[in-house]
Amino acid sequence: MTQDESEFHAVNPARLTGAEILWATLLGEGVTEVFGYPGGAILPAYDALRKFPIRHILVRHEQGAAHMADGYARASGKVGVAIATSGPGATNLVTGIATAMMDSIPMVCITGQVSGKVLGTDAFQEIDITGITLPVTKHNFLVSRAEEIAPAIRAAFQIAQSGRPGPVLVDITKDAQQASAIFDFAAAQPRAYTPHPMLHCTNQRLHEAAELIRSAQRPVLLAGHGILQARAGEQVRSLAERMQIPVGMTLLGLGTFPASHPLNMGMMGMHGESWVNHAIQEADLLIACGMRFDDRVIGTPATYAPKAKKIHIEIDPAEINKNIPVDIALVGDLRDVLEQLLPLLPGRDGSAWLRSIEESKGTAAVRDIRNLPDSGHLYAAHVMHDLWRITEGRAIVATDVGQHQMWEAQYYHHDHPRTLITSGGLGTMGFALPAGIGAKVARPDQEVWVIAGDGGFQMTAAELATIKQEKLKINIAIINNGYLGMVRQWQEFFYERNYESTPLVSPDFVKLADAHGIAGAAVRTRAELEQTVQRAREHDGAFLINFLVEQEDSVYPMIPAGSALHEMIRRPDQNPLIETPQDQ
Amino acid sequence: MLHTFVAYVEDKPGVLTRVASLFRRLNINIISLTVGRSERTGYSRMTIVADASDQAGHRIRASLYKLEDVAEVDDISGVSAVTRELALIKVAANVENRSGVFELAEVFRARIVDLAPESLMIEITGVESKIEGLIQVLNEKENRVLEVCRSGKMTMRRGHHTSRVLRAMGVASEPPAANDAYKGDESQAIHLE
């Protein structure tokens, strides 16, 4: 391997084929793993792969490759790389690319393309993938000459990671991979990154913001994904602690501010804690840190936080005043802005406001269900809670989308960043399994749990074979309620229980795992839960647990789409999961 | 309202699609779009006129800047600027009735650039209303307008130097000048108060 490395060492200009340049450039960018699927137009690249110390994880569907690269990036903070051939290989990436785009994940996708001489002739497996991915990438490149490969790949890495991160696609024609050119890694360096020209954080604005924070009686800090992207966790914590500001989390913000911190109120929004939403509606100041006032968070703009002044700290100027008009926008890198803001904030006594939030919890306060008597029913909430307890909140959890995703967010308390991997913006079913694989490849020493519903799991279940082939120790929890649960819940609440097309017949997931050479077990009662989870954790190799949970349970509280944050649907009283303070 | 943007974009394949696609994605109709080479090597200059809500200007400009191929964007809606459009108008006219068209062209300071037995071609530059005025009076006479080709609007700020031009002149290198430049752009700065 060392010989190979020296042969293609990044600093030595040498004549290489385009395919070799591709790998050498990736190596130079620090890539050690890629997720991909070969095919005709990318074959020259695959032919050259053996010369490079890069691990290739063969997926079962290109969507899986994109989600794996995405999960890899979310778990590690590095750029994830997915590779596919032209035509259907490239189009299969699209959902994964869009998922990464919506959540601002740094990712580079490489696709093969038909040779330059037949480009535009509807050649076999030709597709205009740069055209298709234009709205779902931060940028993309069509490369038709070997000389352009290294500069394009290097630019892609810079674009993917800089500013507000996002996915970049590089489409490389087959003849460009086959041709040769002088490879000079250093010379291929892109021009220096220039920040968005509309970043705007003047001293005057900082002082105005500081004054608002100092004089606020009922401030709330909204913690979003940007805290992770800007590595500003410490600064946000300083701000909250020094000024005694309670913190509400977005879904993608979970983990950026410790769940166990006394100032952490929990998740906001559609399925957020009632007291968090209540605090937002009562607040006289919102400090939004690296979040974008998504519609799942604000309910409806007209009724959102009507009493609050709003400070928006955000790196993307296009997000300012997009959904919610704000009073002060500090447009820049969150960490930089907070570093400048903190010296202006000496401290404050926030106890009255914190006390009133505590009181507002009332009977809704406690989600902790550990003291509930075992009624023989298994609820998804039990699974999430017990998983959190058994793993001591330390596992990386990759979720799918739907009810189980919200229950995970409510009951699995994330104290550490990069431990929740979930598709927030696009809400992509089928995300969990491949994203969990990506996370495990990125952080092999970490315990990884994939949590998926019975519906979403089947969308990308073929990646079980990838787990087997790559010998990955991944634990899989299927929250099996026999329905497309979240859709069923909407049908229950808003469509008069017309359960059209949501009951779901699934394969025996344990047998399915077995067919892939993966161990598994079914859990029907809470009594079996802990023992089975421990068995999974201790098992040498991947393990799948099929949790057969209560079929028609719903996620509470819920704010119907388009309603105000205080107009929430609460859990009905007769439900055994009614939360009372005594549960504490 | 109508928003007018001037953008410097890299002179590469696909850039026009990226810019146009941004407006499409925001569900904003482009009224006119002109592209041509600029004073900067490797960069084209676009004048984009779009119909969008009053508040949309900031977001459009910010989103344009997020495109990798866009170097500079100026929102010149409502600022002092010179706007011109070029039109070529082909009119049915023969030896009997063409003198009337000549007179009209004279009044509108337009030029006759082609003369055929049954038609002639008028070239006119000016603001939109002037061009529309000429087309209207041409239609009022017996001369039929056969074809109209309009360039779309081209716009340039009056007396304003973009920060890049200032930099090239060595003026805006110090921070105060850069701040001034931002103040000069106050119309597009983030207005929150």
Using one digit for the tens of pLDDT, what is the confidence trace for A99-125?
Answer: 999 999 999 999 999 999 999 999 999
Q: What is the mean pLDDT of residues A377-388?
A: 92
- Nearest chain A alpha carbon to B193: A327
A405 annotated active-site: no
Show me where the domains of chain B are located. 2-79, 82-150
Confidence at residue B172, expressed as pLDDT on a 0 to 100 scale? 42
**What is the total residue count of chain A?**
584
Question: Inter-chain contact A198–B61, Cβ cutoff 8 Å?
Answer: yes
Q: Is the pLDDT of residue B191 over 70?
A: no
Q: How far is B158 from chain A (nearest CA, A)?
A: 22
Percent with pLDDT over 90 in chain A: 88
Q: Is the pLDDT of residue A580 over 60?
A: no
A318 touches chain B (CB under 8 A): yes
H or E element that contains A457: helix A454-459
Phi, psi of A329 (to 5 degrees): -110, 125
Q: What is the ipTM of this complex?
A: 0.90
Distance between CA atoms of residues A59 and A51, nearest Å? 21
Does the domain at B2-79 match CATH 3.40.605.10? Answer given as no
Q: Is the pLDDT of residue B183 over 70?
A: no
Q: Closest by alpha carbon to A443, among A418, A423, A480?
A: A418
B27 touches chain A (CB under 8 A): no
Q: How do strand B43-51 and strand B81-92 relate by DSSP bridges?
A: unpaired
Asked whether A412 and A391 are in contact (CB, 8 A), the reply is no
Return the CA Rg of chain A.
Answer: 25
Distance between CA atoms of residues A253 and A491, nearest Å? 29
Asked whether A75 and A444 are in contact (CB, 8 A), the reply is no
Asked whether A278 and A253 are in contact (CB, 8 A), the reply is no
Q: How far is B114 from chain A (nearest CA, A)?
A: 39
- In sequence order, the 6+-apart residues with CB closer than 8 A to the CB of A529 are A378, A382, A383, A386, A523, A547
Confidence at residue A242, expressed as pLDDT on a 0 to 100 scale? 96
The DSSP call for residue B79 is S
Question: Inter-chain contact A318–B68, Cβ cutoff 8 Å?
Answer: no
Q: Is the pLDDT of residue B161 over 80?
A: no
Bridge partner list, A219? A285
B72 touches chain A (CB under 8 A): yes
Q: Which two tokens stand for residue A432?
A: 């969990």
The DSSP call for residue A526 is H
Return the CA Rg of chain B.
Answer: 20
Per the omega criterion (within 30 degrees of 0), is the bond before A135 cis? no
Q: Is the pLDDT of residue A375 over 70?
A: yes
Q: Is the pLDDT of residue A372 over 90?
A: no
Asked whether B70 and B38 are in contact (CB, 8 A), the reply is no
Asked whether A36 and A93 are in contact (CB, 8 A), the reply is no
Question: Inter-chain contact A320–B190, Cβ cutoff 8 Å?
Answer: yes
Q: Closest by alpha carbon to A388, among A518, A267, A477?
A: A477
Phi, psi of B26 (to 5 degrees): -85, 5
Note every long-range contact of A523-532, with CB atoms under 8 Å and residues 24 or more positions apart, other chains counting: A523/A378, A523/A383, A523/A547, A523/A548, A524/A378, A524/A548, A525/A374, A525/A376, A525/A378, A526/A374, A526/A378, A526/A382, A526/A386, A527/A374, A529/A378, A529/A382, A529/A383, A529/A386, A530/A386, A530/A390
Distance between CA atoms of residues A3 and A107, nearest Å? 29
User: Of the listed A138, A174, A309, A440, which one is catalytic?
Assistant: A174
Distance between CA atoms of residues A246 and B50, nearest Å? 43
**A203-363 has which CATH code?**
3.40.50.1220
Q: Is the pLDDT of residue B185 over 50?
A: no
Q: Which two tokens stand for residue A221?
A: 């800090």
Confidence at residue A13, expressed as pLDDT on a 0 to 100 scale? 84
Tell me the DSSP string of A150-211: HHHHHHHHHHHHSSS--EEEEEEEHHHHHSEEEE-TGGGPPPPP---TT-B--HHHHHHHHH
Q: How far is CA A566 from CA A228, A230, A275, A359, A436, in A?
A: 28, 31, 9, 16, 35
Interface test with B, best of A162, A193, A198, A316 (most B CBs within 10 A): A198
Q: Is the pLDDT of residue A374 over 80?
A: no
Distance between CA atoms of residues A152 and A254, nearest Å? 34
Q: Within 13 A of A59's CA, how many CA atoms are on the CB side?
A: 33
Percent with pLDDT over 70 in chain A: 94
Q: Closest by alpha carbon to A475, among A446, A449, A451, A453?
A: A449
Strand arrangement, sheet containing B43-51: B29-37, B43-51, B2-10, B70-75
- In sequence order, the 6+-apart residues with CB closer than 8 A to the CB of A331 are A198, A199, A200, A201, A314, A315, A316, A317, A320, B190
pLDDT, tens digit, for every residue of A332-355? Answer: 999 999 999 999 999 999 999 999
What b/e sequence results for B162-178 when a residue is b if at least 16 CB atoms lie within 10 Å of its CB, and e otherwise?
Answer: bbbebeeeeebeeeeee
Q: How do strand B119-126 and strand B145-150 relate by DSSP bridges?
A: unpaired
C-alpha angle A509-A511-A515 in degrees, rounded to nearest 5: 115
Question: Inter-chain contact B65–A196, Cβ cutoff 8 Å?
Answer: yes
A204 touches chain B (CB under 8 A): no
Confidence at residue B192, expressed as pLDDT on a 0 to 100 scale? 36
Q: Is the pLDDT of residue A550 over 70?
A: yes
Bigger pLDDT: A88 or A359? A88
pLDDT, tens digit, for every residue of B17-47? Answer: 999 999 999 999 999 999 999 999 999 999 9
Residue that has been written with the tokens 């220096």 in this structure: A192
Q: Is the pLDDT of residue A376 over 70?
A: yes
Percent with pLDDT over 70 in chain B: 82
User: Of the listed A51, A78, A125, A528, which one is catalytic?
Assistant: A125
Distance between CA atoms of residues A479 and A45, nearest Å? 40
Confidence at residue A574, expressed as pLDDT on a 0 to 100 scale? 53
Bigger pLDDT: A13 or A254? A254
pLDDT, tens digit, for every residue of A465-509? Answer: 999 999 999 999 999 999 999 999 999 999 999 999 999 999 999
A62 annotated active-site: yes
Q: Within 13 A of A96's CA, how many CA atoms are on the CB side?
A: 41
CATH classification number, A2-188, choose in 3.30.450.40, 3.40.50.970, 3.30.70.1560, 3.30.930.10 = 3.40.50.970
Confidence at residue A568, expressed as pLDDT on a 0 to 100 scale? 86
**B82-150 has which CATH code?**
3.30.70.1150
Confidence at residue A506, expressed as pLDDT on a 0 to 100 scale? 97
Confidence at residue B187, expressed as pLDDT on a 0 to 100 scale? 40
Show me where the domains of chain A are located. 2-188, 203-363, 366-553
- Give CA A470 to chain center in angstroms: 23
Q: Closest by alpha carbon to A66, among A79, A55, A80?
A: A80
- Which residues 171-190 on chain A approach chain B with CB closer than 8 angstroms? none
Residues of chain B contacting residue A320, judged by C-beta atoms under 8 Å apart: 58, 62, 190
Confidence at residue B188, expressed as pLDDT on a 0 to 100 scale? 41
Confidence at residue A133, expressed as pLDDT on a 0 to 100 scale? 98
Q: How do strand A448-453 and strand A396-399 relate by DSSP bridges?
A: parallel
Q: Is the pLDDT of residue B139 over 80?
A: yes
A198 touches chain B (CB under 8 A): yes
Q: Is the pLDDT of residue A196 over 80?
A: yes
**Superfamily of domain A366-553 in the CATH hierarchy:** Thiamin diphosphate (ThDP)-binding fold, Pyr/PP domains (3.40.50.970)
Confidence at residue B144, expressed as pLDDT on a 0 to 100 scale? 86
Q: Closest by alpha carbon to B85, among B139, B50, B47, B38?
A: B47
**What does pLDDT average to over chain A?**
93
